[in-house]
Amino acid sequence: MEINGVNDIEIIEKVKEGNSAEFEKIITKYSKMIYSITYRLLRDSEEARDLSQDVFLRAFRFINKYNPEFKLSTWLVRIAYNLYKDRFKTKKIHIVHQVLSGDDESNKNYEDQFIDTSPRPDEKIENKVKSEQIINIINRLPANYKMVITLYFWGDHSYEEIAEIMEIPVGTVKSRLKRAKGYLLENYSRMLEKWK
Amino acid sequence: MNCGEIRDIIIEYNGKLESAKLKPEVLSEVKSHLASCKKCALAKERMTEMTAKIAVDRVEVPANLAADIISRVIPSAEQARPKIKAFAQPEISFIDKLAELLGMSPKNFAFNMSAVFIGIIAVSLLLYNYGMKAGDQSGKIADNKNIEINENIIKDPVDKKFKKIEDADPKNVASKDEQIDKKFKKSIFTVESGAVANLTGEYKLDELYQVKQDEDLNINYKEVAQIIIKTNSKFKVNDEGIILESGMVSVDLKPKSLAGFKVVTPESVVEVVGTVFSVSSSDNKTEVSVKRGCVKITDSKTKETHTLNAGDSKTVSALDDSKIDTAPVVIQPDSNTPVVNVKTIASGAAASTSEVSHAAETGTAPAEIQGANIKQIMDSFKNENVNPGK
């Protein structure tokens, strides 16, 4: 929580007092982390850059609403998630809502739930293709599942932090993560079966 | 454990059962299942592989990302800031400046300013209230100092009206306003065009009234004149005031209080010149007697004027046969109070000038004035002091 020996909260206090230049320190520290998340959510560098900018703009505008009880990184990611959801709604990204619409953990038949409609890749290096396919599978997840997967695998956030970011209970985070990973495993397995 | 349960464990720990925080017996059971179930073993293998591939996924962060974001975010932020500053700062700085000049903190300054503001409002209200009263007083003073009597006639009703509204029930002021106005108009008592006073009771316009037998109608006019309509005197009320038809009016004026005070009869106009005068009148002629001071008589038809001094009397007839009597009839030269007697003598009336004047001075009843329908008038009169008749 320190930037060059200065606490985030101290910087924020200075920004609140009108010292806009202090906000540069926050951008410098957290821009890469925010970009990596926005990029993984969007898989488009320009959009990820724009979204990152929007994150910091909104953070600056609502800096007075920042609650110091939470980590600044958590607050910034939450802003990113909310902006992403807005964008997600606007662009109507088509994903498999029908199979991950609920949080019911009793439904364990993943093979019946997930249907991979993606085209089979041809003549590509196996590992690269596999990685791309995994990313594609992730991209087909609903926004709230994709966010959980993104924060879990790449965000280095705990269940509690993910819960704070997404403003959902920890139990919901766990159940969503389990379902999302089950979905990925099933689709990845299906993809590999096709390749044989 | 069945395949579903094993798969849940595989998914939860990303296929890394070795690092899973599982109880030894559970871990042993899972391993045993994986050894016997190819499908679950394959799932474990794929889960591990997939997780590893996800973990190595790298994002190429643009080299100038932070600078780029700063270059876009900070100017936007700076643009947003001045709007707030431009609106908020001048106020704060102005107040701070004033507070600093007065040597107080902004909070104290604001408190003091509020107190001063409230004080100003309170003083303004007091001054306004005082101004209203002062205006009222000045109006009265102006009335008393008025040289033109006719102005008194105009102003006096306003005073009376104002007073009546004050006395009225506030809830009914609006609804009774018109009624009060009418009553007021009918209650205006004027000794001709000169004096205006308020009579008790209601009077119908242009109806003839007569004062009851053995009673006088006393009227105070602006605290400067005591007007007495003597017993059996007949008068009408109209918008101009009260016209004395017959009988006698005695006007008692305070010295120098009502210069220009007039008593008008059908035959003449009697006007105060100095401090005191006295007059009397009849249907066909008017007798004026001056007890103290000096009056001016103007004949209504010939416009001829005569001045009467203390002790003088004059008769003005409808036939314009006016003459100055050298021997005054009513005079009481020793009195300090100016008294004016106006007597209207009905045709065939037995009352003489001397009798009327005597009555005015002594308070005894004058000789009866013979009116055509006095009884009828008296019987139908509603007021305690005045009988109506026509």
Structure token digits, residue A153: 């695998």
Q: Which one of A31, A131, A135 has the shortest CB-CB distance to B66?
A: A31
A181 and B CB contact within 8 Å: yes
Summarize the confidence of residues B358-369 as an average pLDDT. 29
Contact B69 A56 (CB under 8 A): yes
CATH code assigned at A59: 1.10.1740.10
Confidence band for B271, pLDDT divided at 50, 70 and 90: low
Select from A91, A121, A147 the last residue of a domain. A91
A23 and B CB contact within 8 Å: yes
Structure token digits, residue B277: 């005068």
Cα torsion angle, A166, A171, A175, A178, sign? positive
> Which of B69, B71, B87 to mutate to test binding with chain A, by most A CBs within 10 Å of its CB?
B69
Please give the pLDDT value at position B139: 46
Nearest to B370 by CA among B282, B265, B250, B251: B282
Q: Would the pLDDT of B187 be above 90?
A: no
Contacts of A23 in chain B (CB under 8 A): 73-74, 77
Please give the pLDDT value at position B269: 60
Q: Would the pLDDT of B28 be above 70?
A: yes
User: Considering only alpha carbons, which residue of chain B is nearest residue A192?
Assistant: B46
Please give the pLDDT value at position B247: 74
Distance CA B364, CA B358 (A): 8
Specify the higher pLDDT residue, B279 or A64: A64
Confidence band for A53, pLDDT divided at 50, 70 and 90: very high
CB B237 within 8 A of CB B203: yes
**Owning domain of residue A166:** 97-195
Structure token digits, residue A74: 């958590």
Weakest mean pLDDT among B199-208, B234-243, B255-264, B326-335? B326-335
Please give the pLDDT value at position B242: 58
Cα torsion angle, B275, B281, B286, B287, sign? negative
Please give the pLDDT value at position B159: 35
Contact A53 B80 (CB under 8 A): no
Q: Would the pLDDT of A35 be above 70?
A: yes
Select from A91, A114, A132 the last residue of a domain. A91
pLDDT tens digits, A163-194: 989 989 999 999 999 999 999 999 888 888 88
Same domain for A112 and A32: no
Weakest mean pLDDT among B20-34, B180-194, B282-296, B311-325? B180-194
Same domain for A189 and A107: yes
Sole residue written with tokens 């088509």: A94
The DSSP element (H or E) to which B29 belongs, if any, is helix B24-36
CB B360 within 8 A of CB B250: yes
CB A187 within 8 A of CB A141: no
Nearest to B277 by CA among B267, B265, B297, B291: B291
Q: Would the pLDDT of B246 be above 70?
A: yes
Please give the pLDDT value at position B174: 42
Same domain for A104 and A47: no
Same domain for A71 and A105: no
Same domain for A126 and A36: no
Distance CA A101, CA B105 (A): 61
Please give the pLDDT value at position B83: 46
Q: Would the pLDDT of B134 be above 90?
A: no
Q: How far is A86 from chain B (nearest CA, A)?
A: 20
Specify the higher pLDDT residue, B263 or B382: B263
Contacts of A154 in chain B (CB under 8 A): 54, 57, 59
Summarize the confidence of residues A97-124 as an average pLDDT. 48
Q: Tell me phi and psi for residue B349, to 5 degrees.
A: -70, 145
* 3-state SS track over B248-288: EEEEEECCCCCCCCEEECCCEEEEECCCCCCCEECCCEEEE
Same domain for A103 and A190: yes
Distance CA A140, CA A190 (A): 15
Which residues are paired to B180 by β-bridges? none
> Which of A111, A181, A187 to mutate to test binding with chain B, by most B CBs within 10 Å of its CB?
A181
Please give the pLDDT value at position B224: 60
Percent of chain A with pLDDT over 70: 77
Contacts of A56 in chain B (CB under 8 A): 69, 73
Same domain for A137 and A72: no
Select from A91, A120, A154 the last residue of a domain. A91
Q: How far is B100 from chain A (nearest CA, A)?
A: 22
CATH code assigned at A179: 1.10.10.10
- The predicted complex's ipTM stands at 0.76
A49 and B CB contact within 8 Å: yes
Q: Would the pLDDT of A111 be above 60?
A: no
DSSP chain A: -EETTEEHHHHHHHHHTT-GGGHHHHHHHHHHHHHHHHHHHH--HHHHHHHHHHHHHHHHHTGGG--TTS-HHHHHHHHHHHHHHHHHHHHT----GGGSS---TT---HHHH----PPPP-S--HHHHHHHHHHHHHHTS-HHHHHHHHHHHTS---HHHHHHHHTS-HHHHHHHHHHHHHHHHHHHHHHHHHH-
Interface contacts A/B by beta carbons within 8 Å: 98
Same domain for A183 and A105: yes
DSSP 8-state code for residue B369: P
Same domain for A113 and A41: no
The DSSP element (H or E) to which B225 belongs, if any, is strand B225-229
pLDDT tens digits, B301-330: 777 777 777 777 777 665 444 443 332 223
Same domain for A82 and A18: yes
**Structural domain count, chain A:** 2
* 3-state SS track over B183-211: HHHHHEEEECCCEEEECCCCCCCCCEEEE
Distance CA B94, CA B388 (A): 76
pLDDT tens digits, A113-161: 555 555 455 555 677 778 888 888 888 888 889 899 999 988 878 899 9
A1 and B CB contact within 8 Å: no
Same domain for A112 and A80: no
Spell out the residues 6+ positions from residue A185 whose beta carbon is closer than 8 angstroms to its own.
Answer: A110, B10, B11, B43, B46, B47, B50
Distance CA B168, CA B180 (A): 9
DSSP A1-12: -EETTEEHHHHH
Same domain for A106 and A70: no
Q: Would the pLDDT of B338 be above 50?
A: no
Which residues are paired to B385 by β-bridges? none
Percent of chain B with pLDDT over 70: 39
Weakest mean pLDDT among B66-70, B280-284, B300-304, B344-348? B344-348
